[in-house]
Amino acid sequence: MSAGIVLASNNHSPMPAVNRPAVHGPVAAPAVHGPVAAPAVNGPVATPADGGPSTGIRPAPIIYRPPGLSRAKPVALVIALHASGGTPASFEAKSQWDTVANRRGFVVAYLGSAAPAWKDPSNVSYISSMIDQIKASQNIDPRRVYVTGFSAGAYISFFVGCELSNKVAAIAPISDGMLPQPCHLVRPLSELLIIGTSDILPLSGNAIFPPVASMEARWRGLDNCPAESPRTSHVGPVQQQIWGSCADHSAVALYIINGGQHVYPGSAGLPASNPDAQYNATNAVWAFFAAHTAGSLAHPSATLSGLHVGQSGSQRSLTATLGLQEGVSVLASVTSANRTLAARTFTLRSGGRTAVQLPVPSTAKPGRYTARLRIRDAYGRSVTLSRSFRLS
């Protein structure tokens, strides 16, 4: 059989084929469980970030769907990316995502990279293509697509977050850092970083990567998180910090393993005294993923919860109460028969329940009018909320 995708399940039952993904570099021919289509090969990849060309064979991906998982409704997808020197099969064994998928009911895709693993950012286009193909073949909920990776797989996860926020709800890099790279989100994307105090990347950063605290502060800015202290908890040797209440209910989180080294936390074979053996990263990542779904690509989260006309002396004013999940700009207007009587722009710097007040001209006669609020957020999304009201 030609090269393709391993469709794995506990009982090795045949599963529907995944359409031909665009692949950067040659792909290994896998042992196939059920029919699959051979992927298109686009030739060698471009020079990676470390200066050396990608070489060798891209390992074929493994798509794991728990046996008996119903196709009647869409399910979540977790993309899992291996470390340098790893393969989809080795990361499947190390991370044990299959076990969590069996328990929680979702699909896992273990993707592979040619050497040097994931150093070429063009791998993002391969990951994007695979997401599209798996969504189509496995009935995936488009609002619940997640990406995680260890070491080099974590490195490319940051690029995925910055470049594929239109497809991905959250990322969870483990044991690597984010370069000071361009990052533009089209909607909020939740981010969790897990790293050890004795990892090869110091928490204080190095000549290549900024300090971990700076990386997380940048993500809080990208997700329009309010300036507040994180919710902090401790699980064994791990300090878990979560900045919630960000735009579209997204969150930014930093889990630091005290004494953690450059190994996958919770993987088999670690001494019980090793801090990494005392924390299951896969369970922690899934708990974070399960709490966050992607928001709308077109509209910010906004509701018009109240409209009130008040009067102080001879001055009448219209107060609109909004429910927001982020800071936005609002163009508020009062119209009648397509004629604008009053308009004002407001800049609201935080979410929550917020009121805007618009003076109503004294020349406005009794009758029915329309309040219109055009809301735009930092991601370029917009929505118009309107409601009629009566002046007496």
Domain boundaries, the chain: 6-290, 302-391
Classify 226 as helix, strand or coil.
coil
Q: How far apart are CA 285 and CA 262, in angstroms?
A: 17
Give residue 278's pLDDT: 96
Q: Which fold would CATH assign to domain 6-290? A: Rossmann fold (3.40.50)
Going from the C-alpha of 315 to that of each of 341, 357, 360, 361, the distances in angstroms are 14, 12, 7, 8
Q: Give yes or no for a contact between 196 and 279, defined as CB atoms under 8 angstroms apart.
A: no
**What pLDDT score does 355 carry?**
93
Structurally, at CATH architecture level, domain 302-391 sits in Sandwich (2.60)
Helix crossing, 97-104 with 281-290: angle to 10°?
A: 40
Tell me the C-alpha distance between 74 and 369, whole Å: 43
pLDDT in the model for residue 47 = 27
In the predicted model, residues of the chain with pLDDT beneath 50 are 1-5, 9-53
Helix axes 88-95, 97-104, angle to 10 degrees: 60
Q: What is the CA radius of gyration of the chain?
A: 25
